[in-house]
């Protein structure tokens, strides 16, 4: 569930980052020192200490440090400190000026509440999230991200008709044919999917030029394999992945290996040398788009996704997943439409006579 929470919160923060200015940093001298210490803790990967320091810096700055609040939301959500994340989002609303900024701040709080609801299974959090998206859309009606988030919230509240209406509105506002729109079109067809633990929507172009989109793979079992040439355990797991690729060839299975290599030439050479003939994509590192979507922090890291796009298993290290894939493949075959029965052609009708 961590990747689902990150999807909501980090998507929100990416919008907020666009609106940030230099004045978002703390102005109080003590707060500036504490803020710097917080970043040092981040560099050391001591995220709890960093969160505590961002909270302290924000307090020292009188609750006006927008940069601190952004980090409080991000790491509060990651660490499950929802009180801190909510506090920061509420301070953001109080500080915002102008309809667009205020709408963005309400959207930010809605994303925090949605994520909290997903983690804690709290209906009250979803209801509050809907209140916040409603406030955001009252100020800026054509706010695609808020419309989409509201649809997802309503789906969690099992108000499927209302959710479907918001998904349809999003599709009208967001006309670019990208992974987000493809996912929303699936929600319109079946709002129940918005409650499922779907894999994040992404699209990549593989080494051999294939365009692979998560939502284009409906009906197929997907194995995502995050790895790198410099990773010893990944190299040890490679024969297992290669064996599965050969075993499931011709079946409704897609194995996509996502490399975190930064050196493209070295990656290409390794792929060719080791007969890695299944789809290959280089993401570039732990902070690259696809790795961040799936919150990959260690490799090898695999995700097994069923024919509906729903996450089934997640493993770090070389795991025995072949049995699970076989079961999912059997289910995928059951979902495939039966071939039409052969029939004797009907006699041609008598052509209509001209008047």
Distances (CA, A) of 24 to 17, 52, 64, 87, 101: 10, 18, 8, 17, 13
3-class secondary-structure state, position 297: coil
Read off the DSSP letter of residue 341.
P
Write the DSSP assignment of 21-65 as a string of letters: -GGGS--SHHHHHHHHHHHHHHHTT-HHHHHHHHHHHHHHTTT--
The gap between the terminal CA atoms of the chain, to the nearest Å, is 70
Tens digit of pLDDT at every position of the chain (355 positions)? 454 455 555 555 555 544 544 458 899 999 999 999 999 999 998 999 999 999 999 999 999 999 999 999 999 998 999 999 999 999 999 999 999 999 999 999 999 999 999 988 889 999 999 999 999 999 999 999 999 999 999 999 999 999 999 999 999 999 888 888 889 999 999 999 999 888 998 999 999 999 999 988 888 999 999 999 999 999 999 999 999 999 999 999 999 999 999 999 999 999 999 999 999 999 999 999 999 999 899 999 999 999 999 999 999 987 788 889 999 999 888 866 655 444 444 443 333 344 4
Are 2-195 and 203-335 in the same CATH fold? no
3-class secondary-structure state, position 255: strand
The mean pLDDT of the chain is: 88
Structural domain boundaries in the chain: 2-195, 203-335
Q: What CA–CA distance (Å, rounded) separates 61 from 216?
A: 48
Q: What is the pLDDT of residues 121-133, one digit of tens each?
A: 889 999 999 999 9
Q: What CA–CA distance (Å, rounded) separates 131 from 110?
A: 8
Q: Could you identify the residue written with the tokens 């969160």?
A: 51
Distances (CA, A) of 252 to 101, 245, 322: 46, 12, 14
The second-level CATH assignment, the architecture, of 203-335 is: 3-Layer(aba) Sandwich (3.40)
Q: What CA–CA distance (Å, rounded) separates 323 from 314?
A: 14
Q: For domain 2-195, give the CATH superfamily.
A: Tetratricopeptide repeat domain (1.25.40.10)
């Amino acid at each position: 569930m961590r990747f689902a929470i990150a999807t909501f919160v980090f998507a929100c923060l990416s919008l907020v980052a666009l609106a940030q200015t230099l004045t978002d940093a703390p102005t109080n001298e003590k707060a500036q020192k504490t803020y710097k210490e917080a970043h040092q803790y981040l560099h050391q990967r001591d995220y709890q200490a960093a969160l505590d320091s961002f909270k302290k810096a924000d307090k020292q700055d009188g609750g006006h440090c927008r940069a601190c609040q952004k980090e409080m939301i991000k790491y509060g959500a990651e660490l499950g400190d929802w009180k801190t994340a909510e506090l920061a989002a509420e301070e953001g609303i109080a500080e915002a000026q102008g309809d667009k900024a205020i709408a963005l701040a309400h959207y930010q709080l809605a994303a925090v509440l949605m994520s909290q609801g997903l983690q804690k299974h709290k209906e009250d959090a979803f209801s509050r999230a809907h209140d916040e998206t409603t406030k955001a859309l009252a100020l800026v009606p054509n706010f695609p991200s808020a419309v989409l988030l509201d649809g997802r919230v309503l789906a969690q509240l099992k108000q499927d008709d209302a959710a479907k209406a918001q998904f349809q509105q999003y599709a009208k506002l967001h006309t670019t044919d990208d992974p987000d729109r493809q996912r929303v079109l699936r929600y319109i067809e079946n709002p129940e999917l918005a409650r499922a633990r779907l894999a994040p929507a992404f699209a990549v172009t593989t080494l051999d030029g294939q365009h692979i989109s998560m939502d284009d793979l409906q009906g197929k079992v997907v194995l995502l394999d995050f790895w790198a040439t410099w990773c010893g355990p990944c190299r040890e797991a490679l024969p297992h992945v290669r064996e599965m690729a050969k075993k499931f060839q011709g079946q409704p299975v897609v194995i996509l290996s996502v490399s975190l290599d930064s050196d493209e030439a070295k990656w290409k050479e390794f792929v060719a040398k080791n007969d890695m003939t299944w789809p290959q994509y280089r993401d570039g590192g732990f902070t690259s788009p696809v790795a961040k979507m799936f919150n990959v922090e260690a490799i090898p890291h695999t995700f097994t996704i069923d024919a509906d796009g729903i996450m089934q298993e997640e493993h770090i290290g070389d795991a025995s997943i072949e049995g699970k894939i076989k079961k999912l493949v059997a289910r995928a075959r059951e979902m495939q439409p039966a071939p039409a029965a052969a029939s004797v052609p009907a006699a041609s009708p008598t052509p209509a006579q001209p008047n």
